[in-house]
Structure 1
Amino acid sequence: MKMKENGILWWILAIAGCGMIFYATSSPGFTGSSTSSLLQSILAVFGTNDIVLVIADLLNFILRKLGHIVAFGVLAVLFCLALNKSKRPFLYAWIITTLYAFFDEFHQSLVPNRTSSIMDVGLDSLGAVIALVLLRKYKK
């Protein structure tokens, strides 16, 4: 089966991607402090001095922000493939992904121990743009 013929499959995968993001942002296991604690435990083999704690916090920040870029990049690609028969699939995929990023940050503002950030929406949108540019280059 060709990608163009699988429109419904891409929609199902895109909606599943939204569901996975929603689940992750609802879960206490995916909070910044939770991942920071995990990284500190892993890096504890090097000791528990202040340098190790700073490195763990820096890694936590980088990995969490990269997670935004990758997750919403993948989501944008799925939406683009689902919208393949529309006139402007790349633009529409970016718009839908960015709107979902806004929704997700609003949702996080309602979840205990979570915070929302407009900067994260920007990272999510940037991830969508990067992934869609790469997809466009790949499709040519």
Structure 2
Amino acid sequence: MKKEVIWWIIAILLCCMIFYFTGTQASTGSNTQRIIEKLTGLSPDQASNVNFIFRKATHITTFGFLGICFFMALRKRAFLAWEITTIYAATDEYHQSFVPGRTASFKDVIIDSCGCIIAILIVRYFQKKYAERKGVVSK
């Protein structure tokens, strides 16, 4: 029980962090591209490609971690964790539509949802391997 509470706290804090960052103009694609250009000296076209990869990788990892938090908080109910994460991703994209310089993207919701699925599958894989090594039958 105590472990689930900790995972809920982490999930809620992560949701707050996502809400904060997606609500700021500093998190716009054009701003991150300018930062990449300044830090790396890349041309605008090169920086645009790096920016795209960086931003999508951020979606995958952030919502992957959020999915893991919900998965653990919900006592390993994978489908429910995926649903909650995907719904949060959709509401976050909607939230972004009200922020100047930001846009909402259904594609980002799909990327977030896939990041969640991938992360949960990885965790389940390692949990199964751990249980097999310990001689425990897992779900």
- Per the normalisation by structure 1, the TM-score is 0.88
**What amino acid is the match of 1:23?**
Y
For residues 77-122 of structure 1, give each alpha carbon's deviation from its aligned partner in whole angstroms, at most 9, with x where no partner exists.
Answer: 00001001xxx61111000000000000000001111001000000
- Name the SS for the 2:101 alignment partner: coil
Match of 1:27 in 2: 24
In structure 2, C-alpha distance between the alignment counterparts of 1:42 and 1:75, rounded to whole Å? 29
Give, as a single letter, the amino acid of the residue that structure 1 aligns with 2:59: H
Which amino acid counterpart does residue 61 of structure 2 have in structure 1? Answer: V
Write the distance in 1 (CA, Å) between the matches of 2:57 and 2:120: 16
**Cα RMSD after superposing both structures:** 1.2
Distance 1:5 1:42 in 2: 43
Aligned residues: 128
Greater shift in the superposed pair: 5-14 or 60-69: 5-14
Is 1:59 the counterpart of 2:50 in the alignment? yes
Letter in 1 for 2:50: L
Using the aligned pairs only, state the percent identity.
Answer: 43
Pairwise mapping of residues 37-56 of structure 1 onto structure 2 (< 5 A)?
Answer: 37-44=34-41, 52-56=43-47
Q: Does 1:81 align with 2:78?
A: no
TM-fit CA distance, 1:43: 2.5
Aligned partner (choices 6, 15, 18) of residue 18 of structure 1: 15
Aligned residue number for residue 119 of structure 1: 107
Deviations 1:29-80 (A, max 9, x none): 1110110000111222x6xxxxx22110000000000000000000000000
Unaligned stretches of 5+ in structure 2? Answer: 129-139
**Structure 2 counterpart of 1:30, which letter?**
S
Query: CA separation in 1, counterparts of 2:119 and 2:5?
Result: 21
Deviation at residue 19 of structure 1 after TM alignment:
0.5
Does residue 1:96 correspond to 2:87, yes or no? no
Structure 2 residue identity aligned to 1:61: F
When normalised by structure 2's length, the TM-score is 0.88
